Structure 1
Amino acid sequence: MFSSDTMPSTATVLSATASLAATAVLLRSIAADLIPGEVHDYFSSSLRKISRRLSSQLTVVIEESDGLSSNQMFEAANVYLGTKLSPSTYRIKVNKLDKDDELAVTVDRDQQIVDCFNSVKLTWISESTFVKQLADKADRRRTNAKTELKYFELSFHKRHKDMVLKSYLPHVIQRAKAIKEERKAVRLHTVDYNGTDYWSSVALNHPATFDTMAMAESEKEELIEDLNRFVGQREYYRRVGKAWKRGYLFYGPPGTGKSSLVASMANYLKFDVYDLDLREVQCNSDLRRLLIGSANRSILVIEDIDCNVGLQRRDSDTCLVEDDKVKLDNIIHRFDRING
């Protein structure tokens, strides 16, 4: 124990502390000057390796690309984490594409996001580094240009490695797909032979929905159930080796709601609509190009199919009439073979 007479004064303690701090700074400066940078980096790297080996955490690095193509896992994480922002997040990025209805919010670099999956804590952090570009070998000029390499670091306890790789990361990919579909603006595509892909598009701003359609409730529910079943069976179609498609035949006089029903289906499924006028198709090869140019998860609309592609009666210029159901079935089957 110290008596009050032998206790150092506050000024003495502060003076000693300042002297120690100054000495530490001086020693650090001397060490930096005397110890070669390679030796310093070697010891720093060794200490980091020892620290990582003793740590119970595992870190998964997800880079933006492999140098040749983009990394789907990075893109999915970018979309997914935009929905996991917390009050502590202080930097975000916002993007708006013409084809999207909503703003796309993503995290900026050096931002930490904490997620929870199956009661497991998972910590994400967005990072980036700059990599020097190689010198131009063609003219042997040196370049100081740098490329920014973006990546995510996902940290969690080592014992959850299998769960993260087999369950959590696939969950992130699926959720990112669903988020993109929710943000997607439905578009109407029409044939454009002057374009490079045969299709041009505009936003489909049709207000029709299943809530506004004048249909018998039982028929409406039956159609919605059929659409949901079809969308949910994509993996089954792939497994049995069949094309993932579903056909509907709408018939009736003009103004009975056929186009509005198509718009309702498109708005419900968030599927783009491709309006195909077969009178503009010159041959089967044109038809194949148009079908190949249409995107997946879309609705292909063919109006007046019984009046097109040379399928009129051979002895008349008129279209098939309602009584010619057998011939109409043959037409649909024939088109289905071309489309398949």
Structure 2
Amino acid sequence: MITFDMFSQFGSLLASLMFFWAMYQHYLPSKIREAIEFYASRYTHKLVNYFSPYLAITFAEYTNDRFNRSEVYTTIETYLSDKSSMEARSMKADYIKDGKSLLLSLGNNEEVVDQYCGVQVRWSFITEYSSSNPYSFYPTSDEKRYYRLVFHSRHRKFVLDSYLPYLLEEGESIAIRKRRRKLFTNAGNDGPDWMGDRGTMWSHIEFKHPARFDMLAMEKSKKQMIIEDLQWFQEAKHYYAEIGKPWKRGYLLYGPPGTGKSTLVAAMANLLEYDIYDLELTAVKDNMQLRKLLIETSSKSIILIEDIDCSLDLTGQRNKKKAKEEDNREKDPIKNPIQEAEGEKKGSEVTLSGLLNFIDGIWSACGEERIIVFTTNHMEKLDPALIRRGRMDVHVEMSYCRYESFKVLAKNYLKLESHPLFETIGSLLEETDMTPADVAENLMPRSVKISKETCLENLIKALEKVKEESKLKPKKEATSEQDKEEKSHDSEDRNQVET
């Protein structure tokens, strides 16, 4: 029971403490006070930590290099964004460039709980200001921000070996899912301003192509094969590590123009949520620049080289071309040296060997989870070493439109799954070669007044016209050959008369 004497004793004790504190503040030299406070806080902190079973790890926003933000800090901030929106009472929102939405993070001195495999940890966000400017509106060099992870000491090994690697991997995955995907292109190499965005060799725009696999005019079995292969590749990181190969895959798309090769690449990027690097080989100066371009590509991306048979002389014809130029130079030694030098400067010096090293050489392992895609209209023109299995792992033939592909286009353009005219169209497609692009152009209603049946009839007329032209083509070719023979005979007779 509390009595009056106890209150009196407590009051006298409090007064004594206040007296000694005033003496300490006013009469003790400042240097002695600072030394006492330093050692008192130091050993008090050690004493508390000695008896506390909890450990703490601090992740600062900036490390020794004050100009570059820590990637680990950014990854933790991204990982905790979902936790912050669900549990925290105090949050801050930042707009991240190239992000799809605002990034929510913990407010100052806010704390959230995270649980992984039954182990519970606590995350807190702390901001420290200098005493000279504690309420600065703008971040200054004296402001320090960091995340603190607190966990029980018995989980030390689990947190270091399992939880933190999981957190970093999951944070990177979240950042990739929330980013805006990009379409890159390599800048030209003429002049001092050939560098792209932020001094890199690539410039980019936002990738917004709407293509999906269910929209592609392809056989269902072929589409399913490609989808399964892509999904397998996306989850095959450990498999590639076990077999000792870089985590990449090559696709060769070949077929006539207008068969949907570029659209297939866009559908692949949308399925996997990858960026696309559209590499223009004619703008690459030499093999060294090609290697630098490869190094600057990111993971989770598709490297696309379109019309590779037209980009460079990669089929052995380059040597013949050089030999022919040397012969012409010997026959015509009088040549403008300035023009010759400019021609050599503008031409690309990328070789077949350099391109092969780009695809699966030692430098191809500088990144992971990448798909390299070649497209060509003439597969027979390519060097066999360029398209062999191991470099181009999957060969996909993009053929002319057939009945199964037509049904996909009819569903996309006319919202039709069946019609009496489908049978006629199907038989014509088996007899004629028309690309999906041409079929789609005939199916597209160019006016609200045009009915779906009219679009189908227009396609039938176009198919019948192509069929008739294909019948007349051999006759025209035979006639042209006959004309050539007659002209050659006439020239021979003329030569004989002259002699």
Normalising TM by the smaller chain, what interval? 0.7 to 0.9
Which consecutive residues of structure 2, in runs of 5 or more, have no partner in the other structure?
132-139, 189-193, 322-375, 393-499
**Code of the aligned partner of 2:146:** Y
Aligned residue type for 1:180: A
The one-letter amino acid paired with 2:174 is I
1:40 paired with 2:31, answer no
**Deviation at 1:31?**
4.3
Aligned partner of residue 126 in structure 2, secondary structure? strand
State the Cα distance separating 1:81 from its structure 2 match.
1.3
C-alpha offsets along residues 60-91 of structure 1, whole Å, 9 cap, x if unaligned?
22223430365443232221111112666243
Q: Does 1:291 align with 2:286?
A: no
Structure 1 residue 108: deviation in Å?
3.2
The CA deviation at 1:154 is 1.2
CA contact (8 A) 2:55 2:150 kept: yes
Q: Which amino acid aligns with 1:242?
A: K
Q: Which residue of structure 1 aligns with residue 496 of structure 2?
A: none
Tell me if 1:175 matches 2:170: yes
Equivalent residue runs for 1:131-150 within 5 Å: 146-150=141-145
Alignment of 1:271-282 (within 5 A): 271-282=274-285
For 1:185-224, what per-residue CA distance to the aligned partner results, in whole angstroms no more than 9, with x for missing partners? 1111122122243321100111122344444444333222
1:122 equivalenced with 2:121 (yes/no) = yes
**Greater share of helix:** 2
Structure 1 pair 281–156 and aligned structure 2 pair: CA distance change class (3 A): closer
Name the CA shift for 1:94/1:81 in 2 (closer, same or farther; >3 Å).
Answer: same
Q: Which amino acid aligns with 2:88?
A: T
Structure 1 window deviating more from structure 2 (62-71 vs 184-193): it is 62-71
Out of 57, 60, 66, which is 1:60 matched to? 57
* Among candidates 217, 231, 234, match of residue 231 of structure 1: 234
Q: How does 1:49-88 map to 2 (within 5 A)?
A: 49-68=46-65, 70-85=69-84
Aligned to 2:108: 109
Which consecutive residues of structure 1, in runs of 5 or more, have no partner in the other structure? 133-144
2:98 aligned residue: 99
**Cα gap change, 1:206 to 1:146, in 2 (>3 Å):** closer
Partner of 1:141: none
Percent identity between the two aligned chains: 33
- Residue 131 of structure 1: how far off its partner (Å): 7.1
Relative distance call for 1:51 and 1:222 in structure 2 (3 A) is same
Change (3 A) 1:160 1:271: same
Residues 131 and 146, structure 1, Cα contact 8 Å, conserved in 2: no
Does structure 1 residue 165 correspond to structure 2 residue 164? no
Alignment pair present for 1:329 and 2:324: no
Tell me if the contact between 2:121 and 2:150 (Cα under 8 Å) persists in the aligned partners.
yes
Are 2:309 and 1:306 equivalent residues in the alignment? yes
Q: Does 1:251 pair with 2:254?
A: yes
Corresponding residue SS for 1:180: helix
- Give TM-score scaled by structure 1 length: 0.76
Partner of 1:198: 201
Write the distance in 2 (CA, Å) between the matches of 1:250 and 1:214: 14
- Count, aligned residues: 314
CA distance in 2, matches of 1:254, 1:103: 42
Q: Is the 8 A contact 1:102 1:183 kept in 2?
A: yes
Aligned partner letter, 1:220:
K
